[in-house]
Amino acid sequence: MKTFNIYLSVILASILFFSCSDSSPVDSNNNKPDASSKYVIAASPTALEDVADYLLTTESLTEGTVSTLDSGVEQDGTYRYYVTNNNKYFSLLYGQGNPGAVTTYQLNNSGELEELSDFQSETVQAFTSVEDDVLMMKIPRSTNDPTAYWYRLDTKNSQFVDEGQIDVVKLANNGEGAYFSWMTQVGDQVWAPFSTITGSGNNRFSTKYPDQARIAVYSYPEMKLQKVIKDDRTSFIGRYFTKGLSVDEKGDVYAFSSAVAMDDDQKMISSKPSAVTRIREGTTEFDQGYFFDLEEASEGYYVTNHFYTSNGNFLVMMRDLNKKAPWTAGHHLAIINVYDKSFTWVKDLPDAKDIIRVTKMNSYISEDGQTIHTGITTKDGSHVYAIDVNSATATKGLEVKGGIITSINKIDPVE
C-alpha cells in the first residue's frame, strides 16, 4: 500500500491543538450569532489573478463591511477549499498535480483565527466530514493507473489514522474508470457517486456510458465496498468536485444529476434530463416512483449545484440548457422543494448576466433552515445575500471589499 509519508509531521503539528467548545446558538432571526461566534469568509482578491485566498472573520452576515485589502489571514497557495469539523476550520490546498496541504485553524478566545497546524499532504479531488474525521480521496484520471487512495484525518488530534486503496476500473466494471464526484455520509456509511471515464484521448473525462447513475456504498471507517446502487433514468450524479447527494431530516437521500456527460470532443451526449432522484431511508435502491425533472420545472435550465436547507427545500444553481458545459456553474438561483416538486426563482438578486461568481462550496444555512446566506460577486462588488427560503426572496447584506467570496462557514471560540 502506498504510504502517505506525512505521519511524523502531522504528529508534531498536533501538539498545537487545543480542546474546542460545543457550538453556540444563533438568535431566532439568525442576524448575528452570540458575541463570541464568528463567520469565516474565504475570499479571493479581485485585484490580481492566481493569488491566494484571505480568510476574513465577521460577527454578522447581514450588515457591515470586511476587506481583503487590510485584514484577514492569507492562505498559502491558490485553489484552496474549506471544510469544518469539531469546531475546527480546515483549509485544503489543491496542488494541481503537485503535493497539496492541510492547514487547520481554530477561533481563539480573542475572536481571531489561530493556526493550529500546517502540513503537506496529497492533493485530493474529493473530501467530506464523516463523524469526527475528514475523509479525503485522491482519484486517478487514467485507467493505466487505476488506483484511488483514501485518507482518514482524525480532526481531534490532526493525525491521519487510516488509508486505503480502491481499484476504479474494477469498480466501474465496464472497461472505464470510476471517477468519484464527491462523498456523503449516509447513516453509518459513506456514499460516493461516480461517473465512468475513458481516461484517455483528447478528453480524459469522456465516457461511452453517459446515461448511468452509480453510487458506491462503503462501510465506515473500514471503507469496504458494500454495494453499487444503480439507476439509468439520469446521467451521473454530481459533477467534478461538486456534491451530488444530500440527506433530509427523514434520512431520505436525494441525488442531483446535471446531465453533463461528454464525448472525446467535450460534446454533451447524455439523453437524460437534469433531474433529482431519491433513495428512501434504510434502502439501497433508487425509488422508481420518484423523479423530479428540473429541466421541465425550470423551463429550460439544468442544475449545477445545490444546498439543502430543511423540510425538503434546496437552493439550486441553474444554467441555461443552451449553454450546457461540464465545468461552469450556474448563476440563476431558485428554491425547489423535493416533496411537492415546486420550483421558484429567487427574487431580488443581481441579473445573472452580471454575476461573476456565486459561492459554490460552502454557504451558511441558519439553524432553523429558513435562511441561506450565499456570496454573490458582480462587477460592482461582492456581497453576502440572505435568501429567505419560504418567500424565495434575497436581501443584500455584508459587503466583502476587494474579494470574490468562495466560502462561508461559522465556528465558535475555544474555551
Average pLDDT over residues 205-222: 97
- Mean residue pLDDT of the chain comes to 89
| Helix or strand (DSSP H, E) at 12 | helix 7-14
Question: Worst-scoring range by mean pLDDT, 71-80, 226-235, 301-310, 327-336?
Answer: 71-80
pLDDT for residue 21: 33
Q: What is the pLDDT of residue 96?
A: 66
Q: How much is the average pLDDT of 325-353?
A: 97
Q: Which has the higher per-residue pLDDT, 414 or 55? A: 55
Looking at CATH, the fold of the domain delimited by 124-302 is given as Lipocalin (2.40.128)
Angstrom distance (rounded) from CA 142 to CA 203 = 11
Compute, in degrees rounded to 10, the torsion defined by CA atoms 88, 93, 94, 96: -170
Q: Residue range 367-388: average pLDDT? A: 96
> Residues 215, 216, 221, 226: is their CA dihedral positive or negative?
positive
- Which whole number is the average pLDDT over 117-135? 91
At which residue does the C-alpha cell 482524525 appear? 154
Q: What residue segments make up the domains of the chain, in order of their start?
A: 124-302
Q: Which three cell numbers stand for residue 49?
A: 489573478
Helices (H), ranges, 137-229: 168-172
What is the pLDDT averaged over residues 295-301?
98
Residue-wise pLDDT for 234-277, tens only, equals 999 999 999 999 999 999 999 999 999 999 999 999 999 999 99
pLDDT of residue 75: 87
202 versus 341: the higher-pLDDT residue is 341
Indicate the range of 9-13, 57-61, 342-346 predicted with least confidence.
9-13
